[in-house]
Amino acid sequence: MLPGGSTSQLEGHPAPDAPNASPAPVPARPVQVRAAPSRVVKCYLSIIVPAYNEEKRLPSTLDAIADYLARREFSHELLVVDDGSRDHTRDVVREFAATRPWVRLVSYDDEHGRALNRGKGFAVRAGVEAAVGRDILFSDADLSTPIEDMERLLPPISRGDCDIAIASRALAESNLEVHQPKHRELMGRTFNKIVQALAVPGIQDTQCGFKAFRGDVAKRLFALAQIDGFGFDPEILFLASKYGYRTRELPVTWRHCDNSRVNPMTAPIAMLRELLEIRWNDARGLYDEHSQ
Ligand SMILES: Nc1nc2c(ncn2[C@@H]2O[C@H](COP(=O)(O)OP(=O)(O)O)[C@@H](O)[C@H]2O)c(=O)[nH]1
Ligand SMILES: [Mg+2]
């Protein structure tokens, strides 16, 4: 069950067209989450891609992930979570999944069957809930960190050196091939100072959209998580530290992609509000397991 009262069920019938409504976060009300059934036995890795209006960027991303996985030996599944897109994101995923049993669409609607945009945090959480892999990785739909960089994150988890391995653009060894625009970099650095002061000390880049978890750790932490927007990364890292899990920040390659889905005017305010929510939720005991 996802926080917010959502239920999980298998995808059985076609999703209705997405509405033209505003993508503003939606307060708690019934949400139907549908996840196509897993058809992978003994899955080693679940890859989750949250997708909001990604019909243009997704096809090359899905091809890149499939090409990479075809060259690897491990069993895998790919869950693309449609976060209430108003374009044809769902159709793109369905078409790609039609000939690939390891690809699953996760999507959610409101009680009237209309696609809902709930935010990246909600989308990743829905993916984690449906995932069956021993380890779980999530990646942004633009592959700003190339998919092969999972090879930097997964071995330390497999070796037992850490429970969570997160990609970082802020380390000396990080390879920034294409930088974000100056204002985004400044925003990121300022936000990180606030994140470190309020929620997760010692981590220099909480926002990179490429993170890997031991599967059982992801299931436990995301089941406690409450935040739907971009503040979900610090929330998860806060929860990880609260429950004594070891997080390691690792350098990756980063190529900034244009056409960001992030609104530079509203996102910083929303993220600040969500950061304060982390402290507030903790003080209210919402992150204690018995409160779930
Ligand atoms: N902005 C935004 N992105 C979302 C949302 N839900 C899921 N996403 C996904 O979150 C990821 C990050 O978006 P992106 O535009 O690459 O962010 P940026 O590179 O940090 O500017 C992408 O995979 C989006 O499709 C949402 O409600 N808003
Ligand atoms: Mg991006």
Ligand 2 centroid from CA 292, angstroms: 32
Domain 7-291 of CATH type 3.90.550.10: yes
Rounded average pLDDT over 96-110? 96
**Domains of the chain by residue range:** 7-291
Q: Using an 8 Å Cβ cutoff, are 207 and 262 in contact?
A: no
Ligand 2 center to 144 CA (angstroms): 6
The ligand 1 atom at the shortest distance from the C-alpha of residue 141 is: 23
Q: Please write the tens of the pLDDT for every residue from 195-206.
A: 999 999 999 999
- Ligand 1 atom at shortest distance from the alpha carbon of 140: 23
**What is the atom index within ligand 1 of the atom nearest the CA of 118?**
27
**For 105-154, how does the pLDDT look when each residue is reduced to its tens digit (9 = 90+)?**
999 998 888 899 999 999 999 999 999 999 999 999 999 999 999 999 99
Structure tokens at 234: 């610090």
What lines the ligand 1 site, CB under 6 Å? 23, 50-52, 54, 83, 117, 119-120, 123, 140-142, 144, 209, 260-262
On the 0-12 / 13-18 / 19+ scale of CB atoms within 10 A, 84 is buried
The closest-lying atom of ligand 1 relative to the alpha carbon of residue 257 is 19
Share of the chain above pLDDT 90, in %: 78
pLDDT, one tens digit per residue, over 63-74 is 999 999 999 999
CA distance 180 to 258: 9
For the record, the structure tokens of 106 come out as 């996760």
Residue 215 has pLDDT above 50, yes or no: yes
How much is the average pLDDT of 83-107? 97
Q: 183 CA distance to ligand 2 centroid (A)?
A: 15
Q: What's the mean pLDDT in 5-20?
A: 33
**What's residue 10's pLDDT?**
28
Q: Provide the pairing of β-strand 164-168 with 135-139.
A: unpaired
Counting ligands in written order, the one closest to the CA of 115 is 1
Query: What number is the average pLDDT over the span 216-234?
Result: 97
Å from CA of 260 to ligand 1 middle: 7
State residue 12's pLDDT score.
Answer: 29
Q: How much distance in Å is there from the Cα of 13 to the middle of ligand 2?
A: 31
Ligand 1 nearest atom to the CA of residue 52, by list position? 25
Neighbours of 277 (CB within 10 A): 17
| Ligand 1 center–CA 235 separation, angstroms | 17
